[in-house]
Amino acid sequence: MKYDVIVIGGGLGGLECGYILARAGKSVLVLEQGRQTGGCLQSYRRNGLKFDTGFHYVGGLEKGQPLYRVFEYLGLDSLPWHRMDETFDRITVAGREYALSQGYDNFALRLAEDFPNEKEALKQYASLLSETESRQLDGLNPECQEDDFASSLCETNAYQYLCQSFRDTGLIDAVSGASLKMELRKSSLPLFTFLHGNSGYVGSSWRLKGSGSLLTGALAEGIRKQGGEVKCRAGAEELIGERHRIVRVRCTDGNTYEGDVFIGAIHPALVCRMIKQDGLLKPAYRNRIFRQTNTFGVFTVSLVLKPDELRYFNYNRYVYRKADVWSSASPGEIDRVMISCRVPEDGAYARQIDLLTPFLWEECLPWVQTEIGKRGEDYLLWKERIADACMVLAETVVPGLGDAVEQRYISTPLTYAGYLQAPEGSAYGVRKDAGNPLEVLLSPRTPFPNLYLTGQSLMMHGVQGVTQTALFTCAEVLGRDWIWRHIVEGK
């Protein structure tokens, strides 16, 4: 059988593309190398509990917001979403606590209580956040020839913008403190990435009552209901071309599948490595992809709590030992952590909490050549030592956390690299650079007229960013007018 569209990768972006294209009447095949779909959103089970690998909360799901419109189309609006407290993020920097509130006006007013001399600057910043969130999908409007707003943000350095906007360095820490969900780099992070990584959450913040696999499971089921196929344990190994087009994909099990259109919903470097025929892929494009640098990874400590020990808290905590949240931690030092509490299935007490901290690939190098489950006793001791450091920092704002723990499970960037094929265990894909945006902001298009890319390495990462990128990828297949009418406007 020949498919209209073959999607390589069953993470969020690949499944969203598969769902949209199947609903548009295309015959769709999604190939996933792992045992389950989900990518960074997949879950794993231990002792009857499900744990998330990368999903903790999402912004922009209030009715009328851009992500809500897309999720409504994808059938994800009916999942058990749980709205977080008005103060959805609490930031502690060098012992001083700040509160981030939902609602753009509330956000500015609440921070102005701590920084009264910055009231006007905060109003302007909140206005920019609101505009960024509301204009997320402008680039899909067929009447919009060029998105000058987004282009200017991509060329602006986020840290420099904050330093020019706010006089108080404490306020820079406050508005940046919830950004462990991206890579804060003073020298390169574009304002576009920074604003998009924060704006939706200020609009509205939500958790799922359940694991992130609810999202990807619903999408996979939706694809199948519309006549599409989703195959797991079907790792794509080679993209085969004829006459400057990709015509088929060969999987590691020897099966081959023919298609008219192919979408690489994995890291772009992995897509390029699948094109093995001499002369098929232009060297300039291959070299451009391979010279991209990747964002850092994440070290995660997943805690199982004793019953009725710690009450559920409906917000996130971010803790920094020292001021200047934009500074990089020294190797071997744990000086920041995000604390995220899973919505309990019943009752008022938490059963699961995740601790996350940014982590460099370089620290994992001694075990790069080892296999999962066979890394040795020194690796296990190393993980436990770092997990202990995360616990010490978390307990500064959640007293008694250690005594409440029944069990804990630990993952590192090596885990990401092993299970998700993420180069260097990167949590957020290719690093963006305001100083060279045209080099690192990758287009869904490739040198092949029927091969496209999608996923967090292109425009943006996170649930919101990957979803938006999936729309742009599908627009290459269906046309911007189709995406605008059927999804954005909902006609």
Residue 6 corresponds to which amino acid? I
CA dist 191 → 127, 154, 183, 243 (Å): 14, 6, 12, 41
**Domain spans of the chain?**
2-55+211-293+431-488, 84-203, 296-427
Are 341 and 313 in contact by the 8 Å Cβ rule? The answer is yes
- What does the pLDDT look like over 438-490, one tens digit per residue? 777 789 999 999 999 999 999 888 899 999 999 999 999 999 999 999 999 87
- What does the pLDDT look like over 385-441, one tens digit per residue? 999 999 999 999 999 999 999 999 999 999 888 888 889 999 999 999 998 887 777
Quote the distance between the C-alpha of residue 22 and its chain's center: 24
Q: What is the dihedral of CA 124, 126, 129, 135, to 10 degrees?
A: -70
Nearest to 417 by CA among 473, 465, 375, 470: 375
Q: What is the 3-state secondary structure (H, E, C) of 102-152?
A: CCHHHHHHHHHHHCHHHHHHHHHHHHHHHHHHHCCCHHHCCCCCCCHHHHH
Please say if the pLDDT value at position 266 is more than 70: yes
The mean per-residue pLDDT over the stretch 212-241 comes to: 95
| pLDDT score recorded for residue 373 | 85
| pLDDT score recorded for residue 52 | 82
- What does the pLDDT look like over 350-399, one tens digit per residue? 999 999 999 999 999 999 999 888 899 999 999 999 999 999 999 999 99
Per-residue buried b or exposed e for 301-312, using 16+ beta carbons within 10 Å of the residue's own CB: bbbbbeeeebeb
Q: Which helix (H) or strand (E) holds 451?
A: strand 451-453
Between 102-116, 143-157, 252-266, the lowest mean confidence (pLDDT) is in: 143-157
Q: What DSSP line would sit under 314-373, residue for residue?
A: SSEEEEESSS-TTSPPPTT---EEEEEEPPPSSSSB--EEEEEEEE-GGGGGGGTTSPTT
- What does the pLDDT look like over 23-73, one tens digit per residue? 999 999 999 998 888 887 878 888 778 888 788 999 999 998 999 999 999
| pLDDT score recorded for residue 147 | 66
| pLDDT score recorded for residue 491 | 62
Using DSSP bridges, classify how beta strands 43-46 and 236-242 pair: parallel, antiparallel or unpaired.
unpaired
CA dist 194 → 133, 332, 465 (Å): 12, 26, 11
Q: How far apart are CA 259 and CA 33, in angstroms?
A: 18
The proportion of the chain whose per-residue pLDDT surpasses 70, expressed as a percent, equals: 99
| pLDDT score recorded for residue 43 | 80
**Domain 2-55+211-293+431-488: assigned CATH number:** 3.50.50.60
Q: How far apart are CA 18 and CA 8, in angstroms?
A: 10
Q: How far apart are CA 360 and CA 362, in angstroms?
A: 5
- Cα Dmax for the chain: 66
